[in-house]
Amino acid sequence: MGLLKQLVSFALVGASFQGLIPRQTQEFTDEDIQSGKALQQIGKTAYDNALSRVEASQSTCTKENIRVRKEWRNIPGPERIEFVKAVECLMEKPNVYPNVTGPKSMFDSFGVLHYHLTPYVHNSAYFLLFHRLYIWTYEEKLRSLCGYTGAFPYWEWGLDAGSVENSPLFDGSETSLGSNGAAVNSTGPSFFPTGSGGGCVTAGPFKNYTVNFGPNTARDPLAPNPRCLKRDLNTQICARWASIQNTTETILESPDIELFQANVQGDPRYPAAMKWGFAVHGGGHFSIAGDPGGDFYFSPLEPAFYLHHGQIDRMYFIWQNLDWENRQNMAGTITMMNRPASRNGTLDDVLDISPVGDSFTYRELLDTVGGSPFCFAYE
Ligand SMILES: *[C@@H]1O[C@H](CO)[C@@H](O)[C@H](O)[C@H]1NC(C)=O
Ligand SMILES: *[C@@H]1O[C@H](CO)[C@@H](O)[C@H](O)[C@H]1NC(C)=O
Ligand SMILES: *[C@@H]1O[C@H](CO)[C@@H](O)[C@H](O)[C@H]1NC(C)=O
Ligand SMILES: *[C@@H]1O[C@H](CO)[C@@H](O)[C@H](O)[C@H]1NC(C)=O
Ligand SMILES: *[C@@H]1O[C@H](CO)[C@@H](O)[C@H](O)[C@H]1NC(C)=O
Ligand SMILES: [Cu+2]
């Protein structure tokens, strides 16, 4: 059943190793970390550092053409509505994969791509850079195929740790991505607190969106299987694993790329990463949950996926730019949890995401302001 796949992948039940890791956060008080002041400060430092690199470089990325990504609630309402319209437009553009019967649209093609690459781009050397290219390519399609001109959004989960149901992202208003799923009684075992929804989205954008294929446990996951979009918003998971404190400390307590990616994913192979439990990656995913949001392979068929991974990429951007000289590297092998055992990834490896997008070396993906291909920063 998918549950096993989910558990192995999104996150892992965390034992508590509190106290084992020296806190490297002395420059901030607990209050600064809880309130978000610390995150705001390191975010600003990272942004300023990235922009100074832009000024100093000869790249095609300039202060004039750089795109600044914003938190959903900091984007004006009309622009959020434009974003939703662009996503709906992508759901009408043709699928680019041949020989598949389930996928119906360009939006769906992103789901096929993720499905094919899942075993190589999670808990592996490629996790952060693959997802960086993936959501950027999605942004490019929204612009080139659907005329979107606004800011690309991310979702800072921690701002909603008090109530995901009331998040501007999920409140069901026309400036949201639609509501929670209808409340249904949960069935089956629950390893973690159950959410407040579980049924079909009841209001707002994407209420009428049809999920065309999946789940990953189906005999043919790419065969047609039209159904409603379900969500099971989960404030407890958000508060416990994806709080502002968790986000901030994950950035501050990760000395190198190997531990940073382990901490973001709660990778159980690393004792130091165990304390994060589901960690921010799993915490954000399971704050949304449902179908396909809770499906490890097909979660990109949930429109909020891209905002969740926007925040993961923002964390990576901040972490990198706090010590740019030392944070342009890669660690880990090229298979999920190194199963089956594989070689180490290298920055010269090529990531080819055709037919959805283009092909790049991982090295080209390190710098969001490198100009080839990226030119963006996070506000
Ligand atoms: C698609 O299916 C056709 C007919 O079976 C086959 O000739 C073709 O090679 C397939 N294309 C791909 C990309 O798999
Ligand atoms: C959920 O469970 C409650 C209490 O057992 C019951 O009263 C209610 O009818 C159930 N709702 C649904 C939709 O099954
Ligand atoms: C969903 O579709 C119905 C029937 O076409 C329509 O009346 C309704 O406005 C749509 N809802 C949304 C949120 O798009
Ligand atoms: C994550 O944040 C929550 C809420 O601030 C806190 O209770 C929890 O201890 C944090 N987790 C870790 C591993 O620090
Ligand atoms: C792979 O990377 C690890 C850790 O960085 C290193 O210890 C190991 O020697 C590398 N393996 C090979 C075959 O280079
Ligand atoms: Cu993924």
Q: Is 14 in the pocket of ligand 4 (CB under 6 A)?
A: no
The pTM is what? Answer: 0.92
Question: pLDDT tens-digit profile of 188-197?
Answer: 666 678 899 9
Task: Work out the average pLDDT over 67-96.
Answer: 98
**Ligand 5 center from residue 364 Cα (angstroms):** 22
- In terms of residue numbers, what domain contains 192? 2-378
**Ligand 4 center from residue 243 Cα (angstroms):** 7
**Ligand 1 center from residue 221 Cα (angstroms):** 18
HEC assignment per residue over the chain: CHHHHHHHHHCCCCCCCCCCCCCCCCCCCHHHHHHCHHHHHHHHHHHHHHHHHHHHCCCCCCCCCCEEEEEHHHCCHHHHHHHHHHHHHHCCCCCCCCCCCCCCCHHHHHHHHHHHHHHHCCCCCCHHHHHHHHHHHHHHHHHHHHCCCCCCEECCHHHHCCCHHHCCCCCCCCCCCCCCEEECCCCCCCCCCCCCCEEEECCCCCCCCEEEECCCCCCCCCCEEEEECECCCCHHHHHHHCCHHHHHHHHHCCCCHHHHHHHHHCCCCCHHHHHHCCHHHHHHHHHHCCEECCCCCCHHHCCCHHHHHHHHHHHHHHHHHCCHHHCCCCCCECCHHHCCCCCECCCCCEEECCCCCCEEEHHHHCCCCCCCCCCEEEC
Q: How confident is the model at residue 186 (pLDDT cuts 50, 70, 90)?
A: confident
Q: Which atom of ligand 4 is nearest to the CA of 246?
A: 1
Q: Which atom of ligand 4 is nearest to the CA of 240?
A: 3
Domain of 78: which CATH number? 1.10.1280.10
Shortest-distance ligand to the CA of residue 253: 4
**Ligand 4 center from residue 122 Cα (angstroms):** 23
Shortest-distance ligand to the CA of residue 31: 4
Question: pLDDT tens-digit profile of 335-344?
Answer: 999 999 999 9
Total of domains in the chain: 1
